[in-house]
Amino acid sequence: MKKKILHILSFIMLIAVSTSAQILNNDLSALSQIQQGVTSKRISSYDRTGGTDDFIRIAKDEKKTIFEVRGAGIINHIWITMAPDPGTLSRNDVIIKMYWDGNEYPSVISPIGPFFGQGWNESYQYSSLPLSASPVEGRGMVCYFTMPFSNGARIEIENQSGRRIDNFYYSIDYLTMNKLPAGTGRFHSWYNKQLTDASKTEGENEWGVFGKSGNNLKGERNYVIADIKGKGHFVGVNYYVNSPTPMWYGEGDEMIFIDEATSPTLNGTGTEDYFNTAWCPKTAFSNPYYGYPRVNNDIGWLGRTHLYRFHITDPLYFNKAFKFTIEHGHNNVLTLDLASVAYWYQDVATPVPPIPDAEARKPMSLITIGDIHRWRNEWRKSKGNDPKLWGN
């Protein structure tokens, strides 16, 4: 009888523990948990005189610290908007840098537009779980990534746009506490951009248009999204593609190398597959974890496309190193204007590599109908200008 009672009690305790774990293991239930020794605070651009000039100005080439605190805490919300609009003030040339734990080096560095999910100095709306761009026209830039620090934090804005930022509004919410929970990582983010090279041997032989395609096993010429040393987990990427050809840009596979592996630890099956879509999409949509907030509306896949994926429930873990690469076309055969912003956490705040300078960051121009017609004219001339030339 005693043995039976013990079994029953054990079962009840198991259910209680299981139920408790389920209740606490989601965002909404976590809201019910009362925190000890935690205080909410904010630093913003509000008008200190009590008026309505709730913004700062940032001069040409000026570096302005907009957030600086001491001690331990966690940034849990950032909102920023700027004027003039992107047609006059380039979001690609306003740099955001973040410094943790009193370090002199940034662990976050990116143009402000691409960081928040606005590519090529464009402005458009989208909504994901950690980042969004809200009305009007996506000019409200929002971040919900948590950013812990144990010994102070600083956020700096550098104006490389060549003109004054007339109105820079911001609101940064954070928590203060005596000590961070054990095992709390530090947020990192890095921007990269590259005009990739077409294959010297195959040309732009996508889909085998010019013959048999080559193979790529090691990813030597892949575009690099992140190259990290240390321990942590990768949590997402904003990926910006500008294609000068109507050929599909996305046969390129992701190849991810974990802990100094010489061959890919994780192999993908195509660009759109990594971003949780299929069959060469051209449909704009936003999911909390992945999406295509901006798609080209030109011939084929000519032009600009913005893709994102955030590893919220499926982080990619590493203990020594992590290198995320992706092909630009199968076997890296395409010339593409690529840019990306990677997001990850590490056990300590480390420096990220420098980003390309303002000249190297300039988006390549869009290919127009006139360009295509001029190419056709050169082809016609090469064929003797036969008046019935068609083009196949």
State residue 363 phi and psi, 5-degree precision.
Answer: -65, 140
Provide the 8-state DSSP code for 180.
P
Provide the 8-state DSSP code for 199.
B
* pLDDT at residue number 25: 54
Task: Evaluate if residue 269 carries a pLDDT over 70.
Answer: yes
* pLDDT at residue number 5: 46
Report the CATH superfamily, name and number, of domain 39-177.
Answer: Protein of unknown function DUF2961 (2.60.120.1390)
Peptide bond connecting 281 to the previous residue in cis, omega within 30 degrees of 0: no
The predicted model gives 123-131 an average pLDDT of 96
* pLDDT at residue number 26: 63
The predicted model gives 12-41 an average pLDDT of 66
Task: Evaluate if residue 223 carries a pLDDT over 60.
Answer: yes
Task: Evaluate if residue 9 carries a pLDDT over 70.
Answer: no
Task: Evaluate if residue 359 carries a pLDDT over 60.
Answer: yes
Helix, strand, coil shares of the chain as percentages rounded to 5? 15, 35, 45
Provide the 8-state DSSP code for 299.
S
Question: Quick check: do 39-177 and 192-374 share a fold?
Answer: yes
Task: Evaluate if residue 33 carries a pLDDT over 90.
Answer: no
Torsion angle defined by CA atoms of residues 128, 65, 226 and 221, in that order, rounded to the nearest 10 degrees: 110
Do the beta carbons of residue 185 and residue 148 sit within 8 Å?
yes
Report the CATH superfamily, name and number, of domain 192-374.
Answer: Protein of unknown function DUF2961 (2.60.120.1390)
* pLDDT at residue number 28: 78
CB atoms within 10 A of CB 223: 23
Return the residue matching tokens 């000590």: 179
* pLDDT at residue number 16: 42
Per-residue model confidence as pLDDT tens digits over 131-170: 999 999 999 999 999 999 999 999 999 999 999 999 999 9
Give the start-to-end residue ranges of the domains of the chain. Answer: 39-177, 192-374
Tokens representing 206 are 């996508």
